[in-house]
Amino acid sequence: MKKLLLTSMLALFAASALPAAAQDAKPGDPKAGEMKAAMCIGCHNIPRYQASFPEVYKVPKIAGQNAKYIVSALTGYRKGDRRMPTMRAIAASLSDQDMADLAAFYSSLGKEAGEAAPAATPAVQPPPEVAKLLAQANCASCHGANFNSPIDPSYPKLAGQYADYIYVALKAYQTDKNPNVGRNNAIMMGMSRPFSHQELKLLGSYFESLSGDVKTVPESRFRGANQF
């Protein structure tokens, strides 16, 4: 009963996290999103492309990510709940419809017709020290037992995501009073703050080792280039 109540509260939190305007936006159009993605492809469509602020890390794979999560993330940057100057400037230039269209484009990018559904449990079982961290953080309660099927689409798929990005993202939830670094989310702040940086790195490395939907799909003008 306690677990059911917690799950219901998390889902309610996710639904209320988006502003009303974002919730009322028309369904995203992938074709329209493709036309609006010029400012995104220079980072998110180059495999293993690295950002340099606040430290060097690979920008996240977003092709195949949940559309609702992409909208939630962009909204967070626009509101300042995610404090990263580059992404905040980009998000500030987007309307709710732009976000919905971009999310629809990236969530469908790279998906093949008839592609097999992800396994219910991870193919790679965690070593004991990671299993302990996963249990302590209760990651599966939101992100799914395989970390690729979140209980709500406003939560991200973690399986296969870059380890260093996950580390930087989790560390951001531990950061206060910095105008350019940090993230505000009560659930994730409470989850991440008890962990050391080394423990966050272990979690990131494990998530990257799993098979999942998220990927980087090279944009045609970059295909064959910058494959490092």
Confidence class for position 223, pLDDT limits 50, 70, 90: very low
38-52 pLDDT per residue, tens: 999 999 999 999 999
Look at residue 219 and tell me if it is in a domain.
no
Confidence class for position 24, pLDDT limits 50, 70, 90: low
Nearest to 164 by CA among 107, 204, 129: 204
Look at residue 199 and tell me if it is in a domain.
yes
Confidence class for position 121, pLDDT limits 50, 70, 90: confident
Domain containing 90: what range?
A: 18-111+118-209
**Position 8 pLDDT exceeds 80:** no
pLDDT at 114: 62
**Position 120 pLDDT exceeds 50:** yes
Look at residue 72 and tell me if it is in a domain.
yes
Look at residue 45 and tell me if it is in a domain.
yes
The CATH number for 132's domain is 1.10.760.10
72-96 pLDDT per residue, tens: 999 999 999 999 999 999 999 999 9
Q: Which residue has the higher pLDDT, 225 or 41?
A: 41
140-150 pLDDT per residue, tens: 999 999 999 99
pLDDT at 1: 42
pLDDT at 10: 44
Look at residue 50 and tell me if it is in a domain.
yes
Q: Any idea which of 15-29, 43-57, 151-165, 209-223 has the lowest mean pLDDT? A: 15-29
Look at residue 224 and tell me if it is in a domain.
no
Look at residue 125 and tell me if it is in a domain.
yes
Q: Which residue has the higher pLDDT, 124 or 115?
A: 124
Question: Could you tell me what percent of the chain has a pLDDT over 90?
Answer: 79
Confidence class for position 113, pLDDT limits 50, 70, 90: low
How far is residue 41 CA from its own chain's centroid?
Answer: 17
174-218 pLDDT per residue, tens: 999 999 999 999 999 999 999 999 999 999 999 999 999 999 999
Look at residue 7 and tell me if it is in a domain.
no
Overall number of domains in the chain: 1
